[in-house]
Amino acid sequence: MHAVVTHARIADRERAEQFLREQVIPGVSGAPGFVTGHWVNVGGDRGVSISVFESEDAAKQVVDRVQTPPGDVVTIESQEVGEVVGNA
């Protein structure tokens, strides 16, 4: 399994959460190879998400195809794909 780890800076929390519910979560969860996803408010204007997929290719495809919100709502600061080495 591989995960996509995303760090974001949130400029407009209300609009960001609406975009997340209406666009991001359905797009990610409907992607081939999707296993699980978690989107976390880590305080103030920061958010982190971890989405797990069955393969590295599936994870990379999601990074390339998922729509990102306008910069006045959310700025993606980093997005990485890595192998899942453990879970509980």
Q: What is the pLDDT of residue 67?
A: 74
Task: Report mean pLDDT in 10-residue bins for the chain, 88 residues.
Answer: 96 93 94 97 94 98 84 91 96
CB environment 64-76: b (16+ within 10 A), e (fewer): eebeebeeebbee
pTM score: 0.91
**Alpha carbon of 52 to those of 14, 41, 65: distances in Å?**
25, 18, 15
Which helix (H) or strand (E) element contains residue 75? strand 74-83
Distance CA 82, CA 5 (A): 8
Q: What is the pLDDT of residue 72?
A: 87
